[in-house]
Amino acid sequence: MAKKKAKLSTPTWILKGFGSEADYNKSKGISKEKKEGKTFKIKECPKCGSDEIGLVLSNSDSEEGGGKEWGCRKCGWTGSNVVEKELTEDKFMKYLDDKGEAVA
């Protein structure tokens, strides 16, 4: 038996009333642009700005989707709204130099 072909459906951006797919993506914050070069992500504490951030674990993490809280090792802050920065390779190297990290 041959498989049936799926019916075509109207794109979401038309159903939502946008004039183009680009307008829809812009309003939703969707970006299809590929970034050139390497990018590095850094998580920072919203309270003190430190990058010494880690996941907070507890006994109930395996239950009810836990493990989504972050904690700062410097000031003791815990929460889920951690600041995430995306840096290029040059800016990341400058960040490490300013911090005093050894770069191989």
Can you give the pLDDT at residue 67?
Answer: 55
What's residue 60's pLDDT? 57
Residue 101 placed within a domain: yes
- Residue 90 domain-assigned? yes
Residue 30 located in a structural domain: no
**Read out DSSP for the chain?**
-PPPPPPP---HHHHTT-SSHHHHHHHHT---PPPSS-EEEEEE-TTT--S-EEE---GGGGTTT----EEETTT--EES--EEEEEEHHHHHHHHHHHT----
User: Is 73 a member of any domain?
Assistant: yes
Structural domain count, the chain: 1
Asked if residue 99 belongs to a domain, the reply is: yes
Per-residue pLDDT at 76: 87
What residue numbers bound the domain in which 44 lies? 38-104
pLDDT in tens, 52-90: 888 887 665 455 555 578 888 898 888 888 888 888 888
